Amino acid sequence: MSRILTVKKRDGGEENFDESRISDSIFRAASSAGEGDREVAAELAGVVSLFLEKRSQSPQVHVGEIEDMVERVLLETGRVETARAYIKMRGEGGSSSVSEGGPRPGELFPGLGISVVSSDAGALSAWDRSKITAALMREARLSREEAGEIAAQVESRIAGRGLTRISSALVRSLVDAEMFDRGLTDEIGMQAMLGMPAYDFKELVLPGSKGTAASPEEAVRMLAGKSMRQFAFGEVFSGDTAHAHADAEIHVESASAPVHLSEAFVSLEYLKRFGAFPFTGGWEPPSSIDGIASGISAFAEGMRDYFSSGLDLGYVNLSMAPCVEEGGEAAMEAAGVKILDAVLSASDRRGSFRTALNISAGVPDLLRFTEARGLEGRKTGRGFAEYWTAAERFSKALVSAAAGARTASRNLAEITIHVDSNTFKNPSALSFLRFACRHIGPSFAPGFVFEHEPSWMNLHSRLLARTEDPELFRNPERMRVPLVQSVAINAVRAALAAGHGNIDRFCSILESSVSKALNALREKKEFVAKLSRAGVFAGIEAGAPDSEPVFRIENGIFSISLTGISEAAGVLAGRGDDLDTEALKLALSAISFLMLQAREQAKKMSIPLIFGGETSPEGSRRFASADKDAYPSAEPVRGAYSAGLTACAKQVHEMHEAVRDLGSRFSLVEWRLFLSGLLENPDNPPEGFFDLVCDVFENTDIVYLRFK
């Protein structure tokens, strides 16, 4: 760069370079165009001088170069009328508007030597204003003219600073500022950057005295999660959904994984027949217990690429029975440990991805005569009912392993036991249920699914996705159900907003929340369809060896859950007052009607809906935190809301009373029941848990029970 000292005139003479003369000529042109401003003219003259210096290799420039540069600066900073006036002032005898060797149209500042560094420092490129223009046309859908004006203005601001290097993030910020000044706020959102400010990220890893530093893995995960949530609520879900989520009216589950499906149920029969296909090179049925265990690990690992929350393995004890029948007690115990280890190793220690086991207390009627398969997927010629003795032995081995498996570095195994009327007709099945209940404690807190109707089966431990499809019962390896998306609704917020006793208002608010949740599910369904068409799920939509897709994404299910029902009931009835049982029954009757409405509405939207999924701990905590801020004096607002009905007692006999009270009050709707307080009391008799489980099944319509 050379400082300009002299100007060569058209007649060949020379004179000293004077920036004020450029400013005066710009001001005269601007005044004739009705845009006269001395300060602006001086600023533009400074830009002209700067870029003349950057372009020139000598301390002298030709007057035509100055005029050309003035013209270009005016045109490409959006001062079109002033530029026209300036061109007119140059007169008929002036030089051409672009002198030989001068900048070409659209390249106002070539050769500036400015380098642009990508936000991740992964690339360095020369400045090119046309890239900004193209990006604005593509991302913000601006016209070429408007995009070009914005790009030119940004370029002028950057050049005015004399920079030699600038980050792409700063360029984008300058573009956003220019768009904001022009009132293009909606268009700014269409090309928003994803991530978090550098200061915030630094606080994660170098918090100083303000907190504990995040581990490297956690810091990366948090940065990625924030970026993906921004994408979710900017691209996948609408502004209305984003607002409802931000207001804690609803909670979109797994928003940090918007391009993933949620979770899936897969029968262990599938892994017995086809191994870990499609996550291995081919399909090969396992020939040993070790092969089944390694297949579980490999399959769960492959699932992480497509599912964010977890994998449910179905009817594990029935599937394992033909493979372990000939083994003695030691072999049975070893098999239980191997399967449990495979499940624990496949679960994320942070709990974001869980692998769960479903076992059955007895053989459901719908599977009694289905032909079982052994190792290598070979048919045995016998129905599952004939293997119950082996299934019971394996179930006890699995429970024993789970009850003693928890250490400081391992997850608590998630096991769900399915109970139906056959459980109580079969002494051996009842014996296993009693055995499992006797092991309940801080290290083993199973869930219980109560299947009150023999005409259907549940295909998921928490979702209660029911099926009556006889084809699935004849071929249980086809039990492969993907859950696409879950949305939770904050029932406590609805109750707090409605106020004590205002059931009509409560139901009206909930009805609005249900509509917003359904819209969120529809939006995710539409986005997943786009991903599917783009081949994103090709790996799991591929045909399995049974000629069916591994997962049929278009038939995936969706879930809505109501969070904090017990707390909401307390708000409506009035804490500290006598519980108004009739009012609560009326409220819950209205909720059940809302559920029916939601199912009908979902059917019209072609959304296979399950109403009653379990809210994630993150959603429960977020709801409670938001409500505490909005209603600081509200009594039920605490650390986290219940995912269903909650009963708390230290003594088992007290819990019986609470359950029977709940059973009479909440009989109009199928509910999930969470029992807390019992596991902390070592004085509760082991048999008491068994009696309590039987009491819930026989005397209530509750469909899911878990000790917490």
Q: What string of H, E and C letters represents the secondary structure of 436-496? A: HHHCCECCECCEEEEECCCCCEECCCCCCCEECCHHHHHCHHHCEEEEEEEEEEEHHHHHH
Dmax of the chain from CA atoms? 115
In a domain, 467, yes or no: yes
Q: Are residues 65 and 164 in the same domain?
A: no
- Determine phi and psi for 60, rounding to 5 degrees: -125, 140
- Determine phi and psi for 364, rounding to 5 degrees: -60, 145
Query: Which pLDDT band holds residue 110 (cuts at 50, 70, 90)?
Result: very low
704: β partners: 449, 672
Q: Are residues 629 and 562 in the same domain?
A: yes
Which range of 131-145, 242-256, 645-659, 663-677 scores highest in mean pLDDT? It is: 242-256
Which of 230, 254, 277 is the C-terminal boundary of a domain?
A: 230
Task: Identify residue 203 by its one-letter amino acid code.
Answer: E
| Element holding 355 (H helix, E strand) | strand 354-360
Q: Are residues 175 and 201 in the same domain?
A: no
SS3 state of residue 128: coil
Check pLDDT > 90 for residue 489.
Answer: yes
Which of 35, 59, 93 is the C-terminal boundary of a domain?
A: 93
pLDDT in tens, 184-236: 877 666 556 566 666 666 666 676 645 676 777 777 777 777 788 888 988 89
Q: Are residues 210 and 270 in the same domain?
A: no
- Determine phi and psi for 412, rounding to 5 degrees: -80, 125
| Element holding 19 (H helix, E strand) | helix 19-32
Half-sphere exposure of 26 (CA within 13 A, CB side): 30
Which is more confidently placed, 415 or 115?
415
In a domain, 243, yes or no: no
Which of 93, 124, 144 is the C-terminal boundary of a domain?
A: 93
Q: Are residues 324 and 307 in the same domain?
A: yes
* Domain housing 220: 194-230
DSSP states along 74-100: HHHTT-HHHHHHHHHHT-TTS--SS-T
Token pair belonging to 220: 């990366």
Task: Identify residue 693 by its one-letter amino acid code.
Answer: V
Q: Are residues 549 and 497 in the same domain?
A: yes
Q: Are residues 454 and 496 in the same domain?
A: no
- Determine phi and psi for 131, rounding to 5 degrees: -70, -35
The answer to whether the beta carbons of residues 563 and 620 sit under 8 Å apart is: yes
Q: Are residues 382 and 500 in the same domain?
A: no
pLDDT in tens, 454-465: 666 666 555 566
pLDDT in tens, 154-163: 887 777 666 6
Q: Are residues 172 and 225 in the same domain?
A: no
In a domain, 384, yes or no: yes
Q: Are residues 345 and 204 in the same domain?
A: no
Query: Which pLDDT band holds residue 122 (cuts at 50, 70, 90)?
Result: very low
In a domain, 687, yes or no: no
In a domain, 107, yes or no: no
In a domain, 100, yes or no: no
- Determine phi and psi for 444, rounding to 5 degrees: -145, 100
pTM of the model: 0.74
Work out the average pLDDT over 552-574: 84
Task: Identify residue 589 by its one-letter amino acid code.
Answer: S
Pairing of strands 165-167, 447-451: unpaired
Query: Which pLDDT band holds residue 325 (cuts at 50, 70, 90)?
Result: very high
Work out the average pLDDT over 79-89: 78
Which is more confidently placed, 124 or 451?
451
Which is more confidently placed, 403 or 250?
250
Number of domains the chain contains: 5
Work out the average pLDDT over 354-359: 89
Res 482: pLDDT:
92
Q: Are residues 160 and 42 in the same domain?
A: no
Q: Are residues 360 and 423 in the same domain?
A: yes
User: d(Cα 619, Cα 564) in Å, to the nearest integer?
Assistant: 11
| Element holding 561 (H helix, E strand) | strand 557-563
> Average pLDDT over the chain, rounded to whole?
80
* Mean pLDDT lowest among 213-217, 269-273, 414-418, 579-583: 579-583
